[in-house]
Amino acid sequence: MTEKIIPLADQRYLNRIPIVPAHLEAPTGLLADTRARPLHDLRISITDRCNFRCVYCMPKEVFDKDYPYLPHSSLLTFEEITRVASLFVAHGVEKIRLTGGEPLLRKNVEKLIEMLAALRTPDGRELDLTLTTNGSLLARKAQALKDAGLKRVTVSLDALDDAVFKKMNDVDFAVTDVLEGIEAAHRVGLGPIKINMVVKGGMNDQEILPMARHFKDTPYVLRFIEYMDVGTSNGWKMDEVIPSAEVVRRISADMPLEPIAPNYTGETANRWRHADGSGEIGVISSVTQAFCSDCSRARLSTEGKLYTCLFATGGHDLRALLRNGNSDEEISTVIAHIWRARDDRYSELRTANTSELKERKVEMSYIGG
């Protein structure tokens, strides 16, 4: 994991400016890709910066002080984000997740949430507007986020033990502060709250049971995420992946679990409930149980590139269209064409060696998880 990352601006393959088709389409109507997967979720990364350096996402030795973070001028403005989001909503998106980097670092994020919360589905329903955070600023911001119209939050927490937590996020940040953020979010009604724990073998897997015990008998849903080969900087190895089946086995040996049905088609987590009725956990198994067959997620990067897969090696530059004066109809037609042509299924194709592929995968801190 020594190789220095080529600055984003130099990664030419990431910069495809879409050609506007001659025949424009109506900017509404549901879309399905080449595998009949509907466009349902839009994840929007609103900053490439973070105050953590999680080893599986933004390892410190790569994302150091000299790393070329995006200048503010290249970020989509709140007006541009809302305009693009409205085009996706007109095509069937019902859920918008704000991500980063750490989205709560984006100045006046509440203003953006207010603008997005005002959007409605074509039949007048409110969107499922949610946000994924590392929880570091949540205690301070929970009420304002709720007041702005945010519906729910997902909080990343990779350990209860402070030393293990600090090893995972590689900054000196205490678990208690994140737990206070979760409590504050619960108090103001930003629920149901999900807690995401990335499990990296040999680093924090000893925390699986303490985490499961801690969040049992609480309103929070703890999800265990298999360590993934996102981007090209985390030095991923298959033998550091703890399969979800093993996670369930470990917990069930101590606190019996039963499988339960998904909330909706395309849900990333497999759900399990405590047999004694005291709560639910989830496992997200991109490595050992790929879920590409009903993946309905599009991703918009901080500077307006559309990605159709978390493990993509190229994106489509919608910002260029926004700033070149293209109309909503033109941009909407481009989105429709991109989604219809989508055939991504990286997790189905992944092997122990796919991470050695020459092509650079986009960094998770750039398009959000």
Closest among 266, 346, 344 to 34, alpha carbons compared: 344
Measured from the CB atom, is 59 or 368 closer to ligand SF4?
368
Measured from the CB atom, is 242 or 309 closer to ligand SF4?
309
Q: What is the Rg, in whole angstroms, of the alpha carbon atoms belonging to the chain?
A: 20
CB of 350 to ligand SF4, least distance (A): 8
CB of 293 to ligand SF4, least distance (A): 8
CB of 41 to ligand SF4, least distance (A): 10
Residue type at 178?
Answer: V
Q: Which tokens hold the place of 192? A: 């149901």
Binding residues: 43, 50, 54, 56-57, 97, 101, 132, 156, 194, 228, 292, 295, 297-299, 309
Measured from the CB atom, is 220 or 311 closer to ligand SF4?
311
Indicate the helix (H) or strand (E) that contains 129.
strand 128-133
Binding residues for [4Fe-4S] cluster: 50, 54, 57, 292, 295, 309
- Please report, as ranges, the residues that interact with ligand SF4 according to CB under 6 A: 286, 291-292, 295, 297, 309-311, 344-347
Indicate the helix (H) or strand (E) that contains 133.
strand 128-133
- Measured CA to CA in angstroms, residue 272 lies from 35, 36, 280 at distances of 28, 28, 6
Measured from the CB atom, is 205 or 226 closer to ligand SF4?
226
CB of 201 to ligand SF4, least distance (A): 21
DSSP three-state, residue 146 = helix
CB of 312 to ligand SF4, least distance (A): 8
Binding residues for S-adenosyl-L-methionine: 56, 101, 156, 228
DSSP 8-state symbol, 278:
S
CB of 146 to ligand SF4, least distance (A): 29
DSSP three-state, residue 205 = helix
Measured from the CB atom, is 172 or 356 closer to ligand SF4?
356
Measured in residues, the chain has a length of 369
Per-position b or e across 155-188, b if 16+ CB within 10 A of its CB: bbbbbbeeebbeebbbeebebeebbbbbebbbeb
Measured from the CB atom, is 77 or 354 closer to ligand SF4?
354
